[in-house]
Amino acid sequence: MTTLILDGKKIASETEAELTKRVNTLVEKNGGIKPILATILVGEDPASETYVKMKGNACRRIGMDSKLIKLSDKTTTEELMAVIQDLNDDGNVHGILLQHPVPSQIDERLCFDAIDLRKDVDGVTCLGFGRMSMSEEAYGSATPQGIMRLLEAFGIELQGKNAVVVGRSPILGKPMSMMLLNKNATVTICHSRTQNLPDIVRQADIIVGAVGVPELIKADWIKDGAVVVDAGYHPGGIGDIELDALNGKASAMTPVPGGVGPMTINTLIYQCVDAAEKHFA
């Protein structure tokens, strides 16, 4: 069996070319005003600083502007909420990203939910999750929405398939499950308390590793012909699934790196462009 490689880097690059044209059209129609993604970074976490830089670079590649608000690691919930409200009220800002994680003294969920739904381009609000789950208009959480776009780009059939999602985080596992369900897959959600995990994974036509544990999901758990999506990334360039042994066994799989990762940032800016288009319509 030849395994189809679900190349997220390729799809993201192709999408950026499309987004550049859309941004240029917006700028021409609106007197040179560019779409803006505002990113809030609280504290000095090196990984978060790297992610924020990558997102800013992605904005600039397609002609958008990126606005970075850096706050002290002593910032309170009330202070962060005030910053979010200012951005909600700023007509020049079309998308808002609160970089996760925030320092422990901050009520992260309260702050996420303070983001205006129209600017929630990272798909982190409870309202956005609820609307997405009910197939109403909302921006999906960026990583699972990126996975859905990747599967669609490669023509992966979801309807009627048994999908197993390993992980139940509010920004990955849970929305991933709802998105698959909305496409008429039959979905099983697994987590740290799941019993007989290997047996459940063996039933999957589509397996999504979203648990955050290096190579927790073993290659011999996965049946021949399954579609394998690995949303993990760990030191040494490995994911949540043992991928090396799946080439020639899986019908399709995402590489690590270069699969899900590029689609996450790409989806964030894709949704920000969409939000800007709606704002200017």
List residues with catalytic annotation. Answer: 55, 99, 122
Quote the CA–CA distance of 155 and 89 in Å, as a whole number: 40
Angle at 38 between CA 83 and CA 41, to 5 degrees: 65
Quote the CA–CA distance of 231 and 260 in Å, as a whole number: 6
Sheet containing 206-209: give its strands across: 4-5, 252-253, 227-230, 206-209, 162-166, 186-190
CB 249 within 8 A of CB 239: no
Quote the CA–CA distance of 92 and 276 in Å, as a whole number: 9
Enumerate helices (H) and strands (E) in the chain, giving the number of each: 9, 9
Distance between the two ends of the chain, CA-based, in angstroms?
A: 48
CB 146 within 8 A of CB 260: yes
Q: What is the DSSP secondary structure assignment for residue 5, as one 8-state letter?
A: E
Strand pairing partners for 96? Answer: 38
Residue 26, token pair as written in the block? 């917006």
Q: What phi, psi does 20 have (nearest 5°)? A: -60, -45
The b/e string for 45-75 (b: 16+ C-beta within 10 A; e otherwise) is beebeebbeebbebbeebbbbbbbbebeeeb
